[in-house]
Amino acid sequence: MDRYWLPSLLAVLLALSGCATEPTPERHSAPDSGFPYRAAQSAQFEEPPEPFVRTVDLSLLRVGMTKEEVLAIFPDPITIDVSVRGLEVWEYGFAQLHFRQGVLANWFDLVRER
């Protein structure tokens, strides 16, 4: 019986190794954010979503315009902040307007710069 235990062990190990399967590669997916809508990965938005639709023409702006002149052609900004450099920054969904000492100093078209 002593001479059969090694071949028997090898036969069992060989048989068991045939049952092994190759592991499948893990699928890496984005974690579930809990948000029910997900845009397609390839989705490209040319214009901002509805609440930020552009309602004015930025070409009407001129450096040196007063806040009152800007408000005559623009709606009220979403937010108004003061930067560390002392600029008053009006935030819109489509643009940022920078005022220095009450007059328009600069603006940025956030849609075009994408």
Q: Which of 31-35, 65-69, 80-84, 87-91 has the lowest mean pLDDT?
A: 31-35
- What pLDDT score does 30 carry? 56
The residue extents of the domains of the chain are 50-109
Measured CA distances, 51 to 69, 93, 110, 111 (Å): 23, 8, 15, 14
Measured CA distances, 56 to 16, 60, 75 (Å): 74, 8, 8
Six-digit token string for 26: 């893990």
Tell which wins on pLDDT, 37 or 56.
Answer: 56
pTM of the model: 0.50
- Report for 3-7, 32-36, 40-44, 93-97: range of highest mean pLDDT: 93-97
Tell which wins on pLDDT, 53 or 92.
Answer: 92
CA distance 94 to 112: 9
- What pLDDT score does 87 carry? 92
Please state the φ and ψ torsions of residue 69, each to the nearest 5 degrees: -65, -40
